Amino acid sequence: AQTVTQSQPEMSVQEAETVTLSCTYDTSESDYYLFWYKQPPSRQMILVIRQEAYKQQNATENRFSVNFQKAAKSFSLKISDSQLGDAAMYFCAYRSAYTSGAGSYQLTFGKGTKLSVIP
Amino acid sequence: EPEVTQTPSHQVTQMGQEVILRCVPISNHLYFYWYRQILGQKVEFLVSFYNNEISEKSEIFDDQFSVERPDGSNFTLKIRSTKLEDSAMYFCASSKRRGGGNEQFFGPGTRLTVL
């Protein structure tokens, strides 16, 4: 079974600064997907960025980028030029690329990191 | 932009009572999911649903749980006889395709409190 670990329950960053959220995972699979979801207070989770394990290039979405280290099973999220709207709970998640039968592609989540942005 | 919606936002019930949590997935999505998050713990997968049947379920999803798509828009999670440990945030999600990289869109959640 896959596990996802986020070792930082809370983080804070000064507005306009850069912050990195850590995530490690454990799997025996070679092909999978990794995701970062953002959950603002009282709002739904939205996808921030995804990474395909077979792609060596790190994914980037505007101010959000990842550092994907497959051998180390590490998938950190870097937020550059932090804004007040970035304050949220951030979840790292894993999803297999393989299924059996109809398959469901369930997401396996970490416990989350609560990010505060200081004005 | 289309969103997944869930009702109610907060449900309080007595132990042993039945509850139905409702979700309206995004209209052209075909795959539906329920997850839950007990306070302070991880978001956990419960069940996935496609083509009017369960495609996968976790160990948590025992005989007390059931899911249904009663019409073309709603997707429900029923807990037959609630226990104290069922208190959690329940998230519905939907996706258009099945592929592993396809995004699951989440609803805002229903907070279930069992007294």
- B108 and A43 within 8 Å at the Cβ level: the answer is yes
Q: SS3 sequence, A58-116?
A: CCEECCEEEEEECCCCEEEEEECCCCHHHCEEEEEEEEECCCCCCCCCCCEECCCEEEE
> Distance between CA A77 and CA A93 in Å, rounded?
12
pLDDT at A102: 47
> Distance between CA B9 and CA B90 in Å, rounded?
10
For range B90-99, the mean pLDDT: 89
Question: Nearest by CB to A50, which of B48, B50, B101?
Answer: B101
pLDDT at B73 over 80: yes
> Which residues does A43 contact at the CB level (< 8 Å), separation at least 6?
B108
Strand partners of residue B76: B22, B68
- What's at A25, amino acid-wise? Y
For residues A114 and A89, the answer to whether their CB atoms sit within 8 Å is yes
Give the mutation candidate from B30, B42, B50 for the A interface (greatest A CB count, under 10 A): B42
pLDDT tens for A63-85 read: 999 999 999 999 999 999 999 99
Sign for the CA dihedral angle at B74, A103, B90, B53 comes to positive
**Token pair recorded at residue B98:** 């099945």
pLDDT at A104 over 70: no
For range B101-105, the mean pLDDT: 86
